[in-house]
C-alpha cells in the first residue's frame, strides 16, 4: 500500500491574513481573517480524528475541544492557525505547527473548539 492510497480524504486550506483598519485619531486596528475562497482546494489528505474530545465548563455553556492529526503530501503549504475544512463533512479545524517528515509527507496537529448548548 503506497502513501498516496492512505490519503483518502479531501480538504481545503485557508491561510490566515491580517486586515488593517484605521479607527481614526491615529489608531490602527488589525484583525485576523480568512478569505472567502480557500487558498488551496481539493488537497488529498487523511484526517485522523477520534470521536472523543474534552469538555470544559465555561460561564455560559460547555465548550468542547477535539484534537487530531492531519496527514498531507510533502510540500503542502500549511501554516500555524490556518483554517482547514474537511470537504467530506464540512467540519472546520485549526492547524497547529506542521511537521515535515523526511520530505516524504507532512503531519499537522489540528483542533476544533465550540460551544455545546443544551436544548431548552
In the prediction, which pLDDT does 117 show?
Answer: 62
**pLDDT tens digits, one per residue of 35-53:** 999 999 999 999 998 766 7
Q: How many CB atoms lie within 10 A of CB 72?
A: 24
In the prediction, which pLDDT does 119 show?
Answer: 46
Vertex 85 angle, CA 87 and 99, to 5°: 115
| SS3 call for 91 | coil
Residue % of the chain over a pLDDT of 70: 89
Q: How many CB atoms lie within 10 A of CB 118?
A: 6
HSE at residue 86, side-chain half, CA atoms within 13 A, is 21
| Domain membership of residue 9 as a residue range | 3-116
Q: How many CB atoms lie within 10 A of CB 103?
A: 8
Question: What CATH number is associated with residue 73?
Answer: 2.40.10.370
Give me the number of domains the chain comprises. 1
Who's near 96: CB < 8 A, 6+ residues apart? Answer: 80, 108, 109, 110, 111
Amino acid at each position: 500500500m503506497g502513501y498516496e492510497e492512505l490519503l483518502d480524504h479531501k480538504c481545503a486550506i485557508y491561510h490566515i491574513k491580517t486586515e488593517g483598519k484605521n479607527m481614526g485619531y491615529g489608531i490602527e486596528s488589525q484583525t485576523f481573517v480568512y478569505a472567502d475562497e480557500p487558498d488551496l482546494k481539493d488537497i488529498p489528505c487523511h484526517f485522523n480524528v477520534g470521536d472523543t474530545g474534552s469538555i470544559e465548563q465555561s460561564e455560559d455553556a460547555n465548550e468542547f475541544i477535539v484534537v487530531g492529526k492531519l496527514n498531507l503530501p510533502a510540500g503542502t503549504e500549511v501554516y500555524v492557525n490556518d483554517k482547514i475544512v474537511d470537504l467530506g463533512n464540512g467540519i472546520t479545524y485549526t492547524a497547529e505547527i506542521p511537521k515535515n517528515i523526511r520530505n516524504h509527507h507532512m503531519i499537522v496537529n489540528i483542533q476544533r473548539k465550540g460551544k455545546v448548548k443544551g436544548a431548552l
